[in-house]
Amino acid sequence: MDGSFLPYNDQMTASWKVAMVEFKSKMTPEIKKECRDILSKYLIKLAENNFPNVLAVEKKFSLKIADNIILNGAIDRVQLDDDNVVHVADYKTTKNKTYLKKDWLQLKTYGYILVSENPDIKAVRGSYILLKHDFEEIEDEFSREELLGIKDEFVEYANDMIAETEFEPNPSVLCGWCDFLDHCEEGRKKVALNQKQSHKVYGAVGY
């Protein structure tokens, strides 16, 4: 392997140690093994293809789009591609990648943030990076006009939420990472079920 692989390996090891301290209570042996496998594949990919020109990681944003509506979140990765097109990337752990090929709203949202911040950006490339599919990327490119045009979607969605008077639980595989899990009985049941199924699957194959 290229010698440049080693610094990445050292950095990943350091990041792994920090993550283990922060998320230890949520990491089952099965999840830990899966994470190590994904990280190992990522390091190999870096050694083979070199690291992209990354401008920012976990780029936080908070943008007021109406009097009572603020769009906030974080972009996993912002990079500048070889053709000088700004590229936003979001890591996905889903096993089912089919739905992502038709759902570009998340990447368009990130693109909207960038073009709102910088009038010189004429287009934004976006990609979902599939961690459980050997880092396959589902990619598209959006014009500045297309991205600015989705502001109305955000406002409409936010107004619908404001008008909502009752919020039903929507348990998913992400419940374990929710800050409000302690207050959600359905979420706690979902986490317990996920852990039970995980142990059953890995036990059956000898892990």
Q: How confident is the model at residue 92 (pLDDT cuts 50, 70, 90)?
A: very high
Q: CB-based contacts of 184: which residues, under 8 Å, 6+ apart?
A: 169, 171, 175, 178
Q: Is pLDDT at 21 greater than 50 in this prediction?
A: yes
Give one word for 50, left, alpha or beta, with left for phi > 0 and alpha for psi -120 to 50.
Answer: left
Q: What is the mean pLDDT of the chain?
A: 85
Residue 27's Cβ-count burial label (10 Å; 0-12, 13-18, 19+) is middle
Q: What is the pLDDT of residues 158-169, one digit of tens each?
A: 888 778 766 678
Q: Is pLDDT at 143 greater than 90 in this prediction?
A: yes
Whether residue 153 sits in one domain with residue 191: no
Whether residue 138 sits in one domain with residue 86: yes
Whether residue 95 sits in one domain with residue 15: no
Q: Is the pTM of this model over 0.85?
A: no
DSSP per-residue string spanning 108-167: HHHHHHHHHH-TT--EEEEEEEETTTTTEEEEEEEEHHHHHTTHHHHHHHHHHHHH----
Of these ranges, 14-18, 63-67, 108-112, the one predicted with the greatest mean pLDDT is 108-112
Query: Which one is predicted more confidently, 65 or 143?
Result: 143
Whether residue 86 sits in one domain with residue 57: yes
Q: What is the mean pLDDT of residues 138-164?
A: 89
Whether residue 59 sits in one domain with residue 157: yes
Q: Is pLDDT at 203 greater than 50 in this prediction?
A: no
Whether residue 95 sits in one domain with residue 133: yes
Q: Is pLDDT at 90 greater than 80 in this prediction?
A: yes
Whether residue 171 sits in one domain with residue 161: no
Q: How many domains does the chain have?
A: 3
Query: Which one is predicted more confidently, 95 or 111?
Result: 111
Whether residue 157 sits in one domain with residue 95: yes
74 beta partners? 60
Q: How confident is the model at residue 2 (pLDDT cuts 50, 70, 90)?
A: very low
Q: Is pLDDT at 83 greater than 80 in this prediction?
A: yes
Whether residue 85 sits in one domain with residue 60: yes
pLDDT of residue 87: 98
Q: Are 75 and 88 in contact (CB under 8 A)?
A: yes
Whether residue 42 sits in one domain with residue 127: no
pLDDT of residue 205: 40
Residue 108's domain comprises 52-165
